[in-house]
Amino acid sequence: MRRKLKAVIFDLDGVITDTSEYHYRAWKRLADEEGIPFTRDDNDKLRGVSRGECLKILLKEKQVSDEKFQEIMNRKNEYYVELLGQMTSKNILSGAKELVLGLKRRGIKTAIASVSKNTRTVLQGTGIEDLFDVIVDGYSVKNTKPAPDIFLFAAKELGVKPEDCAVVEDAEAGIDAALAGNMLPIGIGPEERAGKARYRFEKTGDITLTKLLEIINF
Q: Is 164 in the site for Mg ion (CB under 5 A)?
A: no
Interacting partner of 16 out of Mg ion, ligand BG6, none (Cβ under 5 to 8 A depending on kind): none
Catalytic annotation on 32?
Answer: no
Q: Is 29 in the site for ligand BG6 (CB under 6 A)?
A: no
Q: Which of residues 54-83 bind ligand BG6 (CB under 6 A)?
A: 54, 77
Interacting partner of 50 out of Mg ion, ligand BG6, none (Cβ under 5 to 8 A depending on kind): ligand BG6
Q: Smaller CB distance to ligand BG6: residue 164 or 197?
A: 197
In sequence order, the 6+-apart residues with CB closer than 8 A to the CB of 80 are: 22, 23, 26, 118
Q: Which of residues 21-60 bind Mg ion (CB under 5 A)?
A: none
Please give the size of the binding site for Mg ion, defined by CB under 5 A.
Answer: 5
DSSP letter string over the chain? Answer: -PPPP-EEEE-SBTTTBSTHHHHHHHHHHHHHHHT----HHHHHTTTT--HHHHHHHHHTT----HHHHHHHHHHHHHHHHHHHTT--GGGBPTTHHHHHHHHHHTT-EEEEE---TTHHHHHHHTT-TTSSSEEE-TTT-SS-TTSTHHHHHHHHHHT--GGGEEEEESSHHHHHHHHHTT-EEEEES-HHHHTTSSEEESSGGG--HHHHHHHTT-
Q: Is 136 in the site for ligand BG6 (CB under 6 A)?
A: no
Q: Are 15 and 207 in contact (CB under 8 A)?
A: no
Q: Is 11 in the site for Mg ion (CB under 5 A)?
A: yes
Q: Is 51 in the site for ligand BG6 (CB under 6 A)?
A: yes
By CB under 6 A, which span of 90-98, 108-116, 182-190, 191-199 interacts with ligand BG6?
Answer: 108-116
Catalytic annotation on 13?
Answer: yes
By CB under 5 A, which span of 58-66, 95-103, 146-154, 171-179 interacts with Mg ion?
Answer: 171-179
Positions that interact with ligand BG6 (CB under 6 A): 12-13, 20, 23, 46-51, 54, 77, 114-118, 138, 171
Active-site residues: which are they?
Answer: 11, 13
Positions that interact with Mg ion (CB under 5 A): 11, 13-14, 170-171
